[in-house]
Each structure stands twice: as C-alpha cells, then as structure tokens.
C-alpha cells in the first residue's frame, strides 16, 4: 500500500486538521492501495488564505515568467511520466498501456497546447481605432477553486491548473477523492518546478466537504468544475451567494450518426470509441444512430467488435479495457443494463454480471443494445460504462431530431462520405463539439458543451481566457508602451 499522503498547501506537505482518513481502492482487485486524509473546512480556509496572499505578487508577474514556470512543469511532467502512468492505472483502473499512451499524454498535450496558445493572449488590448485612448485589460480573476474528476485525471487537472497559472490566478485544487494519487504526483511536479509558495495549493477532500467549502468561500472568485450534471447544479447553487464565476464541464450522451455511405471502418471505430476508458468518458459516443438501410449489418458488425474486446486487469500490459472505477459505479452500470433489458431493448452483446473468468474487481461486460428507442432510460441517462445503444433512423431530418432529443450537448459524431451532408449536420447538431469521420479536434480547439453538459470552453485560447476578466480603461496614454 502507498504511504499515507495528505495534501499540499503553500509549497509544503502538511498534516491535516481534524481530517478523516479515506482509503483509495484498486478497482482491479477491490483492495485498498493507499490512504489519504480528507481535509476539513479549516484546511480549505488555510489553502484559500495562502492563495489569496500570493495573488498580488503572482498576478503582477511578467507573463513570460509565468510561461517559464509552465515550461518547467512540462519538462518535469515528462520526466515523471511513468510515475504518473502507474498512479492513474492503480487509482482508477486504466490499463497500464492505455494509461501510458493516452491518460498521461493527454496532460502533455494540453500543457503544450496552452504554451502555444499563450502567445496569442493580449493582456492589454486596444478597444478600436474609434477610441484611441481606450484599452481593454484582461486581468486574472483572482483565487480559483478547481474541482476535477477521476475518469481522466491529468486531462482535467492540466486543463484547469495550467491556464490558471498562465492567466495569473492563484488556486486551490481539489482532485477526486476516488483517484487522488496522480494529483499528488502532479503537486510534486509543480513544487519541483519552483512555482512560488501559495500560488498552487491542493486539498484532498470530497464534494460535500472541501468541494462545498470552495464553492461557498467568499475569497474564491471562480469555480471550475468537471463532473456530473447533478453536482454541477449543486455547485452553481452553492456559489450563487458569493457571485462567483462558475465554469462547468459536465456529462454527455453523444450521438454517433452513421449514414449508409459511412466509411468501412465507421462502425468499428464507433464501438471502440464508446468502450475506450471502459466507457468512462463524458464525450463517449454512447448512442449509435444508424440509417435504416444499413441497420442490420451495422448491428452485426457491432456484435463482432464487442466479442473481440478483451477485458483485463489494469496491471496487465496489452490492448484491453480495464475495470470501472468503483463499486458504486459498477452497481449503477449493472442497474442500467438491467433497466435496458426490462424496458425492451434487444441485448445483443454483454449483459449483467462480470465477464467470464472474473470473480472480483469492478469489471463490466462490454454491452450492446439494439432496437433502442430514444425514450428508454439507457438512451436518456449517462451510463459511464461500456454500454452502447443502437437506434435506427429514417433520414437526415430524423437523425437530427433523435440526436438533439437529450438534455445533454457535449459531443456528437457524424459518419458520411457526403461533405455537404456532414457540414449541414455539424451546424444542426446541438452540442459544443462535432467530430466527423474519425477526425479528432485540432490542437487548441475548445472542449465544452451546451445544455446540461455545461458551458465551459476548456483548452487553447478559450481555456486561458476563462480565467481572465475584461477591464475597460479610458484615458490611456497611447504614447507610453
């Protein structure tokens, strides 16, 4: 078991104040692999006070100085890549090869993209030629609370910490108590990079405790949260009395629209994307909408892909999906699979219970339902497991109607060889992102949604500017640089 670690405040590891111990569970074997301490309100207050004290100096540093610290973080992050991969695999069950190739590198990708985007940030901007003595100053918002999830730990930590640092904010990070080990490694990286005391603070805790304390704290100017829609609503309400900016990146129920003219790899690509990270991705294409003329052959292909999907321990090397993160998550997924059966969807792959050969660990059978209707629970709720619903449609208009009939709006997908059709679909689908024909978003593209998926835009210039606010200045002396 990993030695007990608490949290990071003002540049040093400190003992918690009246904290509760919390076991971190290895989802591959259901055994405790570490113990952390959950911080108290007093711990949170200390962290916020440290960040507030550091804000004046940090916010006034030259942007190039802040950029230098981030470049140092990138360097040390690369050196600690294997430590990070092992921590993520242990805490949340990502297979070790996937942890190395995707989980850890998502953090690297975001750090590098923010470094690139930073050159396009103008902190002092002219209003326009009509007002030569007006300027818009883009200034750091202040102390920010960053609350991150367990499913892609470094993806979300770097999407929040790095732009906050570059913007000139100071911060308190609360990682998920379910998967805190990778954030402990990250805190060590920030410390090793020499970031000044008080700029970055981390407090382990749960949502009810530290999460609520940050959301209601009068000295926290902004909350950036990634997680469930239910928790996002609670944070918004908690933050209202202190007039915080609240940026939410929440769940999804992505539609993957497969037209009859989709490329030969589209179905396999869609099923594997749904099952990636054991289905624990907010942007997973969990509803496969299929044009009726190719529906039967699509279902057959999906069954074939599910049968070839291996399940295994996160500690084993190789190409397979691991367990889901926790007993609670396992039970939720099992209940929703049973709900799909009870409501009349046709189970064509997987089902309830563990895969053959497993009697412990939170392993879920890769599951596919056909003949799903969009009013079924499995088509409405975010399952967050390896469960795919296949829904037929008649024409383009019908596909748009089904795809948009959801409370969520994060990512939708389109598969067609008809460019005009793809472009029409991209504009009509109600979501923050649309990916087509297997092409991922480019570096620096914003990540975020609409409706119950939240309104955040993380990544690139948009991600940095979420931590800035505009100040209008008139009477600026334009003769002085």
Express as a percent the part of the chain with pLDDT over 90.
95
At 188-201, the pLDDT tens digits run: 999 999 999 999 99
pLDDT band at residue 480 using 50, 70 and 90 as cut-offs: confident
> What is the C-alpha to C-alpha distance for residues 3 and 82, in angstroms, rounded to an integer?
18
Q: Inform me whether the pLDDT recorded for 1 exceeds 60.
A: no
Share the mean pLDDT of the chain: 96
At 366-413, the pLDDT tens digits run: 999 999 999 999 999 999 999 999 999 999 999 999 999 999 999 999
Q: Which two tokens stand for residue 278?
A: 């054991």
Which residues have a catalytic role annotated?
249, 282
Average pLDDT (243-251) is 98
Q: What is the CA radius of gyration of the chain?
A: 23
Give the residue among 162, 151, 170 at the shortest CA–CA distance from 189.
162
Q: Inform me whether the pLDDT recorded for 6 exceeds 70.
A: no
Average pLDDT (114-123) is 97
At 92-102, the pLDDT tens digits run: 999 999 999 99
> What is the C-alpha to C-alpha distance for residues 56 and 300, in angstroms, rounded to an integer?
61
Please give the pLDDT value at position 4. Answer: 59
Average pLDDT (359-364) is 98
Average pLDDT (275-294) is 98
Task: Write the DSSP symbol of residue 222.
Answer: E
Express as a percent the part of the chain with pLDDT over 70.
96
pLDDT band at residue 302 using 50, 70 and 90 as cut-offs: very high
Please give the pLDDT value at position 241. Answer: 97
Please give the pLDDT value at position 374. Answer: 98
Q: Is 15 helix (H, G, I), strand (E, B) or coil?
A: coil
pLDDT band at residue 20 using 50, 70 and 90 as cut-offs: confident
Residues forming beta bridges with residue 473, ordered by sequence position: 135
pLDDT band at residue 33 using 50, 70 and 90 as cut-offs: very high
Q: How many residues does the chain have?
A: 481
Q: Inform me whether the pLDDT recorded for 5 exceeds 90.
A: no
Q: Going by C-beta distance under 8 Å and a sequence separation of 6 or more, which residues neighbour residue 254? A: 283, 284, 285, 286, 287, 408, 410, 411, 412, 413, 431
pLDDT band at residue 277 using 50, 70 and 90 as cut-offs: very high
Quick one: 474 exposed, middle or buried, by C-beta within 10 A (0-12, 13-18, 19+)? exposed
Average pLDDT (457-463) is 98
At 73-95, the pLDDT tens digits run: 999 999 999 999 999 999 999 99
Please give the pLDDT value at position 2. Answer: 56
Count CA within 13 A, CB hemisphere, residue 55.
Answer: 21
Q: Inform me whether the pLDDT recorded for 3 exceeds 60.
A: no
């Amino acid at each position: 078991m990993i030695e007990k670690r608490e949290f990071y405040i003002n540049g040093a590891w400190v003992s918690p104040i009246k904290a509760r111990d919390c076991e971190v569970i290895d989802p591959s074997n259901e055994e405790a692999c570490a113990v952390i301490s959950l911080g108290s309100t007093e711990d949170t207050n200390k962290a916020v006070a440290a960040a507030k004290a550091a804000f004046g100096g940090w916010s006034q540093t030259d942007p190039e100085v802040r950029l230098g610290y981030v470049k140092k973080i990138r360097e040390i992050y690369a050196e600690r890549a294997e430590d990070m991969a092992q921590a993520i695999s242990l805490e949340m069950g990502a297979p070790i090869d996937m942890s190395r190739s995707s989980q850890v590198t998502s953090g690297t990708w975001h750090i590098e993209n923010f470094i690139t985007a930073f050159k396009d940030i103008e902190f002092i901007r002219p209003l326009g030629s009509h007002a030569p003595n007006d300027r818009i100053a883009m200034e750091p918002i202040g102390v920010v609370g960053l609350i991150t999830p367990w499913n892609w730990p470094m993806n979300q930590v770097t999407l929040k910490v790095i732009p906050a640092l570059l913007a000139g904010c100071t911060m308190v990070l609360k990682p998920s108590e379910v998967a805190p080990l990778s954030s402990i490694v990250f805190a060590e990286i920030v410390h090793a990079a020499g970031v000044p005391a008080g700029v970055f603070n981390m407090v382990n805790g749960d949502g009810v405790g530290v999460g609520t304390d940050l959301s209601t704290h009068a000295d926290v100017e902004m909350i950036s949260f990634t997680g469930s829609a239910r928790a996002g609503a609670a944070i918004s309400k908690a933050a209202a009395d202190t007039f915080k900016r609240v940026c939410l990146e929440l769940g999804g129920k992505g539609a993957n629209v497969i037209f009859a003219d989709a490329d030969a790899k589209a179905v396999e690509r869609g099923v594997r994307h749904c099952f990636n990270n054991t289905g624990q991705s907010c942007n997973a294409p969990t509803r496969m909408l299929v044009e009726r003329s190719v529906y039967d052959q699509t279902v057959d292909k999906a069954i074939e892909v599910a049968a070839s999907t291996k399940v295994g321990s996160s500690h084993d090397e190789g190409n397979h999906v691991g367990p889901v993160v926790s007993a609670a998550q396992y039970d939720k997924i099992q209940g929703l699979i049973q709900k799909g059966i009870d409501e009349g969807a046709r189970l064509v792959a997987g089902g309830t219970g563990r895969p053959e050969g497993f009697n412990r660990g939170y392993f879920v059978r890769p599951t596919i339902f056909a003949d799903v209707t969009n009013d079924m629970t499995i088509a409405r709720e975010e399952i967050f497991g390896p469960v795919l619903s296949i829904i037929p449609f008649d024409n383009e208009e019908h596909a748009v109607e089904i795809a948009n009939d959801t409370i969520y709006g994060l990512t939708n997908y389109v598969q067609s060889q008809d460019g005009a059709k793809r472009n029409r679909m991209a504009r009509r689908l109600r979501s923050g992102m649309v990916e087509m024909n297997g092409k991922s978003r480019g570096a620096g593209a914003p990540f975020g949604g609409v409706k119950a998926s939240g309104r955040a835009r993380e990544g690139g210039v948009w991600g940095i500017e979420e931590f800035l606010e505009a100040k209008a200045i008139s009477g600026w002396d334009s003769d002085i640089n």
